Amino acid sequence: MDVHHARAFLAVAEELHFGRAAARLRMAQPTLSRLIKALEKDLGAPVFERSTRHVSLTPAGAALVEVARELVAVSERARDTVRGAVTGETGVVRLGFAGASINRSVARLAREVRARCPGVRLELHSSQFSPQGLERVISGDLDLSVGRWDFLPAEVRSYLVGRERLIVAMPRTHRLASASSVAMADLTEEEWITLPGGSMSALSNRLQSLARTAGFVPRVREHAPDSWTQTLLVDAGVGIALTLDSVRDNIGADGVAWLPLDPPGPPLEVRLIWREHDDNRAVERVTHIAAAIFPARPAAG
């Protein structure tokens, strides 16, 4: 029994009249009769008792009603799902983000997507540092990523989500911890704790450029896998770190002092990125929501 036969059967079962059922289905009565006969032949049993004045369900027909309704309902859900995917009202969007420093932005976006597009499921992938996030967006493993990049290739588009200030994290026992700010020139002899990413990391690039301007090459003591571990190592007195005000705001550490730079230097831009040519309309829906909720003006990648 296919969906076409199921709809014809249900119309007759509910009307118990071939003429009214045919009118409801907007088809000729002989066509409806042929559909029911074909269904009975396929099932190997009559589903209606017919007379010149009366139509009623046979036991087999009565047993078939719920099955036919389920089949029609599944067909309608399939149609709605496809229609929703075409319009972007339904679908799955995979979003990568680094972690602590971006948690609040991601949480806000997830709440808004759930409220405005309940049919879209935002699948979150944490611990995706900016270089890895960019690679996975380009390869198609992710649909979106939130991070910081000094350069984005032409095949990637982006929205500016926000800007973050550079700060230095150091142990509270450090000789400069009680200062109101710190200059890079004062940190020439320090040992640094950095995050992954190397030359592809905007934060690592900023450390190198600021140190070079101050006349030194930073001595890297440890490479931390994430901002939480980096902060823990600073707290333990292993070294100091160039980090962001968003990390300070999201990670509590009683043994860490957070000092702004003097001069402050340009802020780092946080962007939401996606592929230029992406046929997933749900991705388009999410990027439009991001543009609506974040105060930063949208910008091309």
Domain end marker among 87, 106, 140: 87
Question: What is the band of 79 on the pLDDT scale with cuts at 50, 70, 90?
Answer: confident
- Mark whether 156 and 194 lie in a shared domain: no
Of 129-133, 167-171, 226-230, 286-290, give the range with the top mean pLDDT: 167-171
What is the reported pLDDT for 78? 73
In one-letter notation, the amino acid at residue 6 is A
% of the chain at pLDDT higher than 90 = 56
- Mark whether 99 and 185 lie in a shared domain: no
Do the domain assignments include residue 137? yes
What is the reported pLDDT for 277? 87
What is the reported pLDDT for 226? 85
Do the domain assignments include residue 298? no
- Mark whether 224 and 146 lie in a shared domain: no
- Mark whether 154 and 275 lie in a shared domain: yes
3-state secondary structure of 198: helix
| Average pLDDT of the segment spanning 184-206 | 87
Do the domain assignments include residue 301? no
For residue 161, what are its two tokens?
């989500």
For residue 164, what are its two tokens?
């973050």
Do the domain assignments include residue 136? yes
Neighbours of 88 (CB within 10 A): 19
Counted domains in the chain: 3
Question: What is the band of 95 on the pLDDT scale with cuts at 50, 70, 90?
Answer: very high
Q: Which domain holds residue 274?
A: 91-163+268-293
Is the per-residue pLDDT at 300 higher than 80? no
Is the per-residue pLDDT at 196 higher than 70? yes
Burial class (CB in 10 A: 0-12, 13-18, 19+), 183: middle
Give the start-end residues of each E strand in 14-119. Answer: 48-50, 55-57, 91-97
- Mark whether 177 and 226 lie in a shared domain: yes
- Mark whether 192 and 251 lie in a shared domain: yes
- Mark whether 150 and 209 lie in a shared domain: no
Question: What is the band of 101 on the pLDDT scale with cuts at 50, 70, 90?
Answer: low
Do the domain assignments include residue 300? no
3-state secondary structure of 254: coil
- Which alpha helices (DSSP H) does 88-159 contain, by range? 103-116, 130-139
For residue 146, what are its two tokens?
């939130």
| Average pLDDT of the segment spanning 63-69 | 91
101-to-98, 118, 228 alpha-carbon distances in Å: 7, 26, 10
Do the domain assignments include residue 247? yes
- Mark whether 9 and 69 lie in a shared domain: yes
Do the domain assignments include residue 299? no
- Mark whether 248 and 171 lie in a shared domain: yes
- Mark whether 185 and 245 lie in a shared domain: yes
Tens of pLDDT along 127-154? 677 888 899 999 999 999 998 888 899 9
